[in-house]
Structure 1
């Protein structure tokens, strides 16, 4: 039922656990794949994507780059380096939805920064920027979403990082 409704697939970063089925879904739905401009190299590089840790080579993924300020399906793109150098978050101001990938998680948690191109300093800056938004719901790359009152979770993540 969703096949005809999915037109765009946005990858918040280039790690294999987030990209592994992108080609299949794009083909099934005739959808375009997008990723932050600075994570494009992950889609062809096993060392960057960490695909070898999952026992698989990195299969090239054709994707269009997104940059800070782009808008896709009503969501504004924020370049949020830290987990990877090209991580992005997407925010829809009208209802406070934040798609955070592995940048920020509920309960004051945040993404690892010890992978290739990751940076603690950049992650601190990125989470601080997200804490300034009027976030109501938080959709992270792992775990359950926070459906309301999510700003407190993002602010706690900022506190825990600084």
Structure 2
């Protein structure tokens, strides 16, 4: 189960994803009111978003979480982190352990458990130096952060630590890792892609080279 907790929010926030082992609600349940009972794996929040009260949104679906995992540390992706840590007493995992919010390092090539699947961490700088993408080969799922978006757009490179050539290299790495059989791509902003997401990443690679 992957759910975007920031859906419908009008604050300056990234998407924030609750990833749990359970894939479905109880039969006949109200999906906006019934907590999930994850039956396996680790219940994780990928990016905490910013400027909205995320804790009750998490509690709408699960009683507890096991960890917070960050794609990168731009404020719109991490602004709610302290509140999540306080509410659930969890550690935060990310690329840069020197960042004040990050308790544990995820290095390039590490494997992390999100929900019921194992994800490979891919260091993908260019938008920000500490940027990570997470790919589950067996499930065909990618968390792309702000590297690429639906429709062939890509992350900004005009912010500190941004670099267009490095971003292009990162997109190429992800393309090679995921392959055409990718089924789902969940991005830091905008809609997730469940229809041929590999094609969107390929379009992003081309656009980043020409724009």
The normalised TM-score by structure 1 is 0.82
8 Å CA contact 2:154–2:204 kept in 1: the answer is: yes
How many pairs were matched up?
A: 143
1: CA distance between counterparts of 2:162 and 2:110? 23
2: CA distance between counterparts of 1:16 and 1:96? 28
Q: 1:112 aligns with which of 156, 161, 164?
A: 156
2: CA distance between counterparts of 1:14 and 1:151? 25
RMSD (CA atoms): 1.5
C-alpha displacement of 1:70:
0.9
Q: 1:82 aligns with which of 115, 121, 126?
A: 126
C-alpha displacement of 1:62:
4.2
Name the SS for the 1:13 alignment partner: coil
8 Å CA contact 1:3–1:29 kept in 2: the answer is: no
Is 2:164 the partner of 1:129?
no
Q: Comparing both structures, which one devotes a greater share of its residues to helix?
A: 1
8 Å CA contact 1:3–1:28 kept in 2: the answer is: no
8 Å CA contact 1:85–1:119 kept in 2: the answer is: no
Structure 1 unaligned runs (5+)?
A: 44-59
Deviations 1:117-149 (A, max 9, x none): 111111000011111223221111011101231
Question: Which position in structure 2 is the counterpart of 1:97?
Answer: 141
C-alpha displacement of 1:96:
1.3
| Bigger CA radius of gyration | 2
2: CA distance between counterparts of 1:72 and 1:84? 21
C-alpha displacement of 1:97:
0.6
Is 2:207 the partner of 1:160?
yes
The normalised TM-score by structure 2 is 0.64
8 Å CA contact 2:94–2:102 kept in 1: the answer is: no
Is 2:185 the partner of 1:138?
yes
Instruction: Tell me which stretches of 4 or more aligned residues in structure 1 moved more than 6 Å.
Output: none
Question: Which position in structure 2 is the counterpart of 1:12?
Answer: 71
Question: Which position in structure 1 is the counterpart of 2:91?
Answer: 32
